[in-house]
Chain A
């Protein structure tokens, strides 16, 4: 029997799950294929921070739009998604970084994202365990935290309820020209094939400009109230920006359980899954610099994961040279935040609906020339 769908999504991380859900709800006959487990890749390895970021106008537009979609969904999320609108504090260490707080506030205000500037005293009251003195912070109250693997599970369930078929533990050997071949040789057909395979995208599509960017995270035992907001140093952007060297930045997240996630690190050219003690040490030293009393807490686990990084820090969303193949990958460290907007924009594109924001900055064709010369 020839199995045929309107569209098939490869990859049931949070981006693929969101795409399958959105397309199925739009009435398309869907399949979603996952080689391992739902939400088991970068979705499980990352922090789960739903954050508005202003690295570029296109990044701001996408993160802000996607956050609004999370806000709409929030009341429907099951408790195990642990949705918590704790807000983000962008920490300024000195007067120079305080200038950046003001610049950032102006950019957010222009985009109608309300924020609040905390001076040194207000910051110390908001987060008593931070070192003193610090110059202040920008508080973004609309940012939230979730547990992403459960969000991916929920979105896959929604897709199934809307009629989608899940192919679990089925590796894909080849996909293109409307045909998807599993590693066991069986095949399914679909008018549209959406690659949502994160950092593994180049396995099936070797010419994609997606590189693995390794990260480390530490989780502590439960210390309720030790940290109250997602805390990120303003220098974080310097770390996220750097395209070559290894970097670390102070980034700590409180979980609903009282546990703390401690990050973050970024490394290219390190594709082993093992913990790199040097960068882990640097990452923790950075965290201890901002929160000295972290040193007295017990950590219970360290792990690594791989972000799907593109050269311009924007994802790849939309059509490719193969008319049946579409991309939804390259989300770097923002896949949790931007998953819902990715799904909505891709669905708008496939159904020829007018999108809420322009898809143009994320179109894969922006790298087409480079791929041709590669």
Chain B
């Protein structure tokens, strides 16, 4: 049984398995990672750090490519 990780996504506590990307964790909350300039919801497209569609605010730093980052205990993630 993999270890469980607790993090905050958009102000709510969530639990996920170790090894989960932040992008996947955001998708599990049914939120979009970010909103485009024209107001469209955006989420991971390529899943390999190229398309930049999965950007979100991680521990206060905006525009982080969440498909390239694993969830860690105590992380604070906010969609943007």
Report chain B residues within 8 Å CB of A296.
Answer: 61
B19 at the interface (CB under 8 A from A): no
Report chain A residues within 8 Å CB of B37.
Answer: 222, 257
A94 at the interface (CB under 8 A from B): no
Bitwise interface map of A from 53 to 94 toward B, beta carbon under 8 Å scored 1, else 0: 000000000000000000000000000000000000000000
Closest to A223 in B: B62
CB distance from A260 to the nearest CB of B (A): 12
A358 at the interface (CB under 8 A from B): no
B63 at the interface (CB under 8 A from A): yes
Report chain A residues within 8 Å CB of B62.
Answer: 221-223
CB distance from B8 to the nearest CB of A (A): 21
A273 at the interface (CB under 8 A from B): no
CB distance from B69 to the nearest CB of A (A): 14
Closest to A221 in B: B63
A158 and B37 CA atoms in complex are apart in Å by 28
Closest to A297 in B: B63
Interface size class of chain B, counting residues whose CB lies under 8 Å from the partner chain: under 10
Closest to B80 in A: A222
Report chain B residues within 8 Å CB of A298.
Answer: 63
CB distance from B64 to the nearest CB of A (A): 9
Q: Which of A35-49 contact B (CB under 8 A)?
A: none
Closest to A220 in B: B63
Q: Which of B37-80 contact A (CB under 8 A)?
A: 37, 55, 61-63
Closest to B65 in A: A298
Bitwise interface map of A from 207 to 233 toward B, beta carbon under 8 Å scored 1, else 0: 000000000000001110000000000
Bitwise interface map of A from 250 to 263 toward B, beta carbon under 8 Å scored 1, else 0: 00000001000000
CB distance from B50 to the nearest CB of A (A): 13
A296 and B63 CA atoms in complex are apart in Å by 10
CB distance from A221 to the nearest CB of B (A): 5
Closest to A224 in B: B62
CB distance from B40 to the nearest CB of A (A): 15
Closest to B37 in A: A257
* Residue of B37, B61, B63 ringed by the most chain A CB atoms within 10 A: B63
A296 and B61 CA atoms in complex are apart in Å by 8
Bitwise interface map of A from 182 to 222 toward B, beta carbon under 8 Å scored 1, else 0: 00000000000000000000000000000000000000011
Report chain A residues within 8 Å CB of B63.
Answer: 221-223, 297-298
Residues of A within 8 A of B (CB): 221-223, 257, 296-298
With A221-B62, A221-B63, A223-B62 already in contact, 9 other A-B pairs whose C-beta atoms are closer than 8 Å: A221-B55, A222-B37, A222-B62, A222-B63, A223-B63, A257-B37, A296-B61, A297-B63, A298-B63
Q: Show 12 residue pairs from A and B whose CB-CB distance is below 8 angstroms, ordered by the A residue.
A: A221-B55, A221-B62, A221-B63, A222-B37, A222-B62, A222-B63, A223-B62, A223-B63, A257-B37, A296-B61, A297-B63, A298-B63
Q: Which 10 A-B pairs have the closest CB atoms?
A: A221-B63, A298-B63, A257-B37, A223-B62, A296-B61, A221-B62, A222-B63, A221-B55, A297-B63, A222-B62
